[in-house]
Amino acid sequence: MAPVDLIPNFESPQPPAKYCVLSYPTPNVLLVRLNRPKDLNCINMEGHEELHKIWEWLDAEPSLSVGVITGTGRAFSAGADLKEWNNRNTAGQKREMVPSGFGALSRRSGRKPVIGAVNGLAYGGGCELIVNCDLVVASSNATFALPEVKRGVVAFAGALPRIVRTIGKQRAMEMALTGRTVSAQEAKEWGLVNKVVGDKEGEVVDAAIDYAKMIAENSPDAVIVSREGIKMGWEGMGAEDATRLANDVWFSRLQAGENIKEGVRAFVEKRKPKWKAAKL
């Protein structure tokens, strides 16, 4: 799928990308491809900083609605760059993670949705990345694991308290305490993955872009607020408190915008809405 060159239409310049490739396969969609295939797309500290700036740009750029992240080669991401980690340990240097966590996704709050297109193995931090993706599509040959216990470390990037809400205590314990590999089909049955597709090159990215197109066709305001409402429940807030907070904080902003008026007007006039960039 050839990328669409939207760069001249951006209000702010695209962030520099050294460890990943950015493209625009369809209007309003940013595709981020991790690009260290020889290292199984392990992410080093400079790579985390790079991704932090990319996701912040996605949230701020009016012409973009959805992000998709995938990997180059046979891996989505094998997690942390352990060679760099070992070198830092040897030199007595601390690993200062960006506040948005591993790959700037594992602790990201953000405004706009990000879809994981898991093309291969997603281990350690790579698995933590997809725990915080809003939707996940996996190739049939994709595999998932939290093998940190096998290396004497722990999944500290936010996956442990979050994955239990997605797949349940016993399954989360199984992944975190055994470190075993979970297949794509098993991950789908557990609720970690939305959809499993074939393993032909590009198939998983195309499926993720199909989801992204469906999202991008909707009101950008409504997408942001709906995502916030679900996240509040996922993060452990009670239904009543989350509903009240959504109404108190978000409804007035939504009501003041143009998109809610346009959506209702388009329905009455039996036409497709013409959305404006979100200003929430």
- Tell me the catalytic residues: 80, 125, 128, 148
Q: Hey, what are 82's tokens? A: 């352990």
Measure the CA–CA gap between 98 and 270, rounded to whole angstroms: 47
Question: How would DSSP label each residue in 223-276?
Answer: HHHHHHHHHHHHTT--HHHHHHHIIIIIIHHHHHSSHHHHHHHHHHTTS-----
Instruction: List Cα–Cα distances, 67 to 5, 58, 112, 267, in angstroms.
Output: 16, 7, 8, 28
Measure the CA–CA gap between 66 and 105, rounded to whole angstroms: 14
Terminal-to-terminal C-alpha distance of the chain: 32
Q: Vertex 271, ends 219 and 276: CA angle to 5°?
A: 30
Angle between helices 259-268 and 220-234 (to 10 degrees): 110
Backbone Cα Rg of the chain = 19
**What letter does residue 184 receive in the DSSP assignment?**
H
How many residues does the structure list for the chain? 280
Q: In this structure, are residues 196 and 207 in contact, taking their beta carbons and an 8 Å threshold?
A: no
